[in-house]
Chains A and B, each alone.
Chain A
Amino acid sequence: MAERFDVLVIGAGPAGLAAATAAATHGARVALVDAQSRAGGQVWRHDVAHAAPRTARRAMELPRTVYWLAQSTVVAAQQRELLLETPGGTRQVQGDALVLATGARELLLPFPGWTLPGVTGAGGLQALAKQGWPLAGKRVLVAGSGPLLLAAAATLRRHGARISGIHEQATATEVHAFARQLWRWPARALQAAGLRRQLAGIPWQCGSVVRAAHGDEQLRAVEVDGPQGIRRIDCDLLAIGYGLVPDTGLAELLGCALDRRTRHPCVQVDALLRTSLDGVFAAGEACGIGGLAVARIEGRMAGHLAVGAQAKARALQPSRDRARRFGQLLEHHFALQPRVHQLANADTIICRCEDVRLGALEAFTDARDAKLATRCGMGACQGRICGSALAELGRFPRSSLRPPLFPARLATLAGTALPPSCNDDRGIS
């Protein structure tokens, strides 16, 4: 039997925390579900060595009436009922209303050498640093695109890394045009100034792209193509990320309509954050990359809407629209240069789970055909990495997800209507 809640919030990042808190102020019985052991999502991820910022600490003080379901991975969903896998077994929960606050993933793009140990995402190494990954004295090169690179570099430096440089693919012209508009978002301008202070002495190179990573068993050096031409730079770690893509997995599984007008789909919502399914709302990055401010405002809106408090949500619309415009500005000025899409060659691994190279995909125009013939996207990550990469490269859109949403224990799947398949002791779809 599923446990029933008035509101089920999935994802305990800034949007989910705000949604759970807002719904609870109306006296609703709320459950907040997250795969991690601590709340905060990625942006407020728990840091084993440093205290969280005050804003994050406050946002994580949940009302006592919110039921916190940590380390709970959604593996299957139907209607408004979820099957959760936890370290202690499974759990079924259902909500009169659902708020999807599933956030975003980092966009990781293929280039020669990107599978070498020592090459991570930019947000990826930031997350690992916060988990206690040893960085003291390590030479780290940060690259990719967007303001996340600065935030990541600041975290890495705080953990003792020696940052040799930040390489931004966007041109200096674009970055300056972006910076000139920052005054319209004073909180963001202040944040940027703070980051520049923390990164004093570290070169921030625009129009600079990592072309290749070199090493045998692990990373030794990278090849950078920038305004000064092609240079080889020795380093221990490369933190490289090209921005964020909405995490729509759960929305897809539930059957919510997605907005597919861009390369990376987002959950389709109306002005009151309603998805195409009755009683299912979505907030924050899942509805399109907008940043922390958007997530917090939309989370609050969704929490109010989930209990039918429309007036409170409507009052937040103007500030939400304003915050969303900042996301559009970012998207415009940090748009990826065509050369970033051309870094992978025929010999470059695209599907890291199944070691499928780009050359093997040449004959295909559809993700499903490619998967059947080459196993591309068939491994443990279920096409999350290669699917987004191929969509970004303009090859073909990601194929749709099938349950289980994440590889699950067979015991979790036993007794459910899902067709389990077997790989080792965990089922892999």
Chain B
Amino acid sequence: MTVRIVLDGQPLEVPAGISVAAAIAHAGLVFRRSVGGMPRAPLCGMGVCFECRVRIDGIGQLRACMSTVADGMRVDTDG
């Protein structure tokens, strides 16, 4: 079973039930830029560090590791 999400405007098919963080990793390691412009990706994997935060369906600052993919979901990174 797979679901289709839209990651940074590009369609992406990923296994159903995985986290948004895992879905982004299927496409590469581009998650976000730090305040100083450095590339960042998940560190803690369990909702503590906020390094994986993305915009999901228009809501910002959501932790990708705490969210599960759903069909039609729009995910935007700022990486």
Question: Which residues of B line the A interface, CB within 8 A?
Answer: 14-15, 17-19, 21-23, 25-26, 29-31, 34-36, 38-51, 53, 59-61, 65-66, 68
Contacts and interface: CB of A to CB of B under 8 A. Distances in A.
B66 A36 contact: yes
Interface of A: 35-37, 42, 48, 105-106, 108, 115-121, 123-128, 131-134, 217-218, 349, 352-355, 379-381, 384-385, 407, 423-426
Given A124-B42, A218-B41, A385-B44, A352 B49 contact: yes
A381 B40 CA distance: 14
Contact of A381 (B21, B31, B35, B48): B48
A123 B45 contact: yes
B48 A105 contact: yes
Contacts of B17: 48, 132
Given A118-B29, A119-B43, A120-B42, A355 B50 contact: no
B25 A380 contact: no
Contacts of B29: 117-118, 217-218
A125 B29 CA distance: 14
A381 B45 contact: no
A14 to B, nearest CB: 15
Interface residue SS majority, chain A: loop
22 contacts: A35-B66, A37-B68, A106-B46, A108-B44, A108-B49, A115-B34, A117-B41, A119-B43, A120-B45, A124-B45, A127-B44, A127-B65, A128-B21, A132-B22, A217-B29, A349-B38, A353-B34, A353-B35, A381-B48, A381-B49, A384-B48, A385-B44
Given A132-B22, A352-B34, A353-B35, 17 more contacts: A48-B18, A119-B43, A124-B43, A127-B44, A128-B21, A132-B17, A132-B18, A133-B21, A218-B29, A353-B34, A355-B38, A380-B53, A381-B49, A385-B43, A407-B61, A423-B61, A426-B61
B36 A355 contact: yes
B60 to A, nearest CB: 5
Contacts of A384: 48-49
Contacts of B36: 355
A133 B25 contact: yes
A131 B21 contact: yes
B18 A117 contact: no
A134 B15 CA distance: 11
Contacts of B66: 35-36
Given A35-B66, A355-B35, A381-B50, A48 B45 contact: no
Nearest to A407: B61
A151 to B, nearest CB: 14
Contacts of A106: 44, 46, 48
Nearest to A45: B46
A117 B46 contact: no
Contact of A132 (B15, B53, B59): B15
A423 B21 CA distance: 22
Contacts of B61: 380, 407, 423-426
Contact of B44 (A124, A218, A426): A124
Nearest to B34: A355
Contacts of A117: 29-31, 39-41
Nearest to B19: A131
A319 to B, nearest CB: 28
Contacts of B60: 424-426
Contacts of B22: 128, 131-134
Contacts of A349: 38
